[in-house]
Structure 1
Amino acid sequence: MNGKLNFSTTPTPLKIHSGSPHFRAEALRFLRGLKRNNDREWFEARRAVYERELKQPMLAILEAITQAMIDFAPGHVRPAQKSLMRIYRDTRFSADKSPYKTQVAAWWTHNALSKTSGAGYYFHLSSTEFTIAAGVYMPPPEQLLAIRNHLLTHHEELRKLLDGKKLRRVMELHEPLALTRPPKGFPAAHPALDLIRWRQWGVTAILPAEAALEPDMLGAIVSRFRLAAPLVDFLNGPLLSSSTPAKRVLFPLP
């Protein structure tokens, strides 16, 4: 992509074509080596390779994706550096002290929810897979409650979105990590109970890592993000509608 995004205007959405930025085989070789040698000495000796084959292509890819998202996810448009996730692991509370993640990743949160995440768009590249996802994952308690409250009266809309034929042809339901019992305060006989018991809602596509080397990798990401946009908007709806945490209440059966 030529030039930088101008976030003060609304440019024409990017047209995905064969000359769009993508990774080279050297990127996968670096990630395979990092997986075997996850230490600072190995990484620092190859930092130039990381910058050239992973970080710089990643930023170009993120700019191109964000340019396209202006058309269907304007609330998620942000500079590439803000979407790029750090490759450095937070090891403070982990028994695994490996200093680096073995993947490069990006997350587009909604700008109004940037400090608390909410629902958004995600992709990562590791040495073994190229993953594209959209939804809300591991939300904090107040967001989890807000979405569950919303589902009491809007569950049919979510079912329709999750069952969309075009979306389900290219993405699968993300593991919902469901509770075994109804959350406290929610009726056990409610028709939305199966959805309410979930702790995350989203869709995922897992492709071979080599798919990220293809010139049309941007099309693979953008087309899926576009199809998942109504789902992301639905999940963010109750989070954006109130600036205060949802209150836990008991709900009568319909």
Structure 2
Amino acid sequence: MLQTKTLEFLKALVQNNNREWFQENRKKYDEAKSDLEKLVGQLIKEVSKFQDLGNLQVKDCIFRINRDVRFSKNKAPYKSNLSAGIGPGGRSSGKIDYYLHIQPNGQSFLGGGMWAPSPEQLAKYRQEVDYNADELKTIIHEQGFREFFPVIHGEVLKTTPKGYAKDHPEIELLKRKELFFVHPFSDKDVTAKDFANNIVKGIKLLKPYCDYMNYILNHTEEQD
């Protein structure tokens, strides 16, 4: 669980997203960050029971709250959320991991999947779907998975991808440029005692999908 004051800090930050206010309230931010670190530490411990995370440390998972505003019209210096990427190698591994997003007013969620793939990775995904989509469909259509992650998120082509027929039996999967799954959490969920357990439940459901996607997106012939 997270403390209510962590969400309260984020709510206040939205209304005061400037460096002067942030520095004046630095102690509150440090407390909120520490609160998230404790939760992530607990998650690493639990996930390590069914997945090898290597020597993953909490610091490897937490994303910075500072925004990169160099190429953005929005010059607000800070994100309005706290977040972490949990998986072998942490947030910067380049692999698909379990993404935890903490944001007040019911905008928190656990997510995972193919998001902003490179052209090469997207081609690998489509090649696999074209060759044999049964394994992927078995994973994402499993009842428990669908109940926890009922909606596929991400960009979808309006037209048929080049090189594939309009009447391809898997055309809807082939049109997808992203295949990301999200389970939302209310503010009440986030501050409940069983919050960590619910996240771990979601991670267990996501694991077969993430394992599958990491294999097809990152596997090379040299590894055979």
- TM-score between the two structures when normalised by the length of structure 2: 0.90
Give distance in 1, aligned partners of 2:87 and 2:126: 20
**Matching residue within 45, 49, 55 for 2:28:** 49
Aligned CA distance change for structure 1 residues 144 and 77 (closer, same or farther; 3 Å): farther
1:195 corresponds to 2:168: no
Aligned CA distance change for structure 1 residues 112 and 210 (closer, same or farther; 3 Å): closer
Q: Which runs of 5+ in 1 are unaligned?
A: 1-21, 245-254
Aligned CA distance change for structure 1 residues 196 and 219 (closer, same or farther; 3 Å): same
Give distance in 2, aligned partners of 1:108 and 1:216: 19
Secondary structure class of the residue paired with 1:64: helix
- Conserved? CA contact 1:31–1:102, under 8 Å: yes
Give distance in 2, aligned partners of 1:88 and 1:47: 13
- Conserved? CA contact 1:171–1:203, under 8 Å: yes
How far 1:76 sits from its partner (Å)? 7.4
Give distance in 2, aligned partners of 1:113 and 1:145: 24
Give distance in 1, aligned partners of 2:55 and 2:205: 17
Q: Indicate the larger mover: 96-105 or 125-134.
A: 125-134
Q: In the TM superposition, what are the counterparts of 1:11-160 in structure 2 within 5 Å? A: 22-52=1-31, 54-75=32-53, 78-111=56-89, 114-115=92-93, 117-129=94-106, 130-160=108-138
- TM-score between the two structures when normalised by the length of structure 1: 0.80
Q: Which runs of 5+ in 2 are unaligned?
A: none
Partner of residue 228, structure 1:
206
Alignment deviations for residues 156-177 of structure 1 (CA, whole Å, 9 cap, x no partner): 2211211111112222223232
Give distance in 1, aligned partners of 2:166 and 2:88: 32
The one-letter amino acid of 1:127's match is: P
- Conserved? CA contact 2:63–2:91, under 8 Å: no
- Conserved? CA contact 1:106–1:124, under 8 Å: yes
Partner of residue 18, structure 1:
none
Aligned CA distance change for structure 1 residues 238 and 58 (closer, same or farther; 3 Å): same
Give me the identity figure in percent.
Answer: 25
Q: In the TM superposition, what are the counterparts of 1:166-185 in structure 2 within 5 Å? A: 166-185=144-163
Secondary structure class of the residue paired with 1:119: coil
Secondary structure class of the residue paired with 2:180: strand
Please give the root-mean-square deviation of Cα atoms over the aligned residues, in Å: 2.1
- Conserved? CA contact 2:152–2:179, under 8 Å: yes
Give distance in 2, aligned partners of 1:154 and 1:57: 44
Aligned CA distance change for structure 1 residues 234 and 113 (closer, same or farther; 3 Å): farther
- Conserved? CA contact 2:111–2:180, under 8 Å: yes
Report how many aligned residue pairs link the two structures: 221
The one-letter amino acid of 2:69's match is: T
Partner of residue 237, structure 1:
215
Alignment deviations for residues 42-71 of structure 1 (CA, whole Å, 9 cap, x no partner): 11101111111x111111111111122223
Aligned CA distance change for structure 1 residues 216 and 91 (closer, same or farther; 3 Å): same
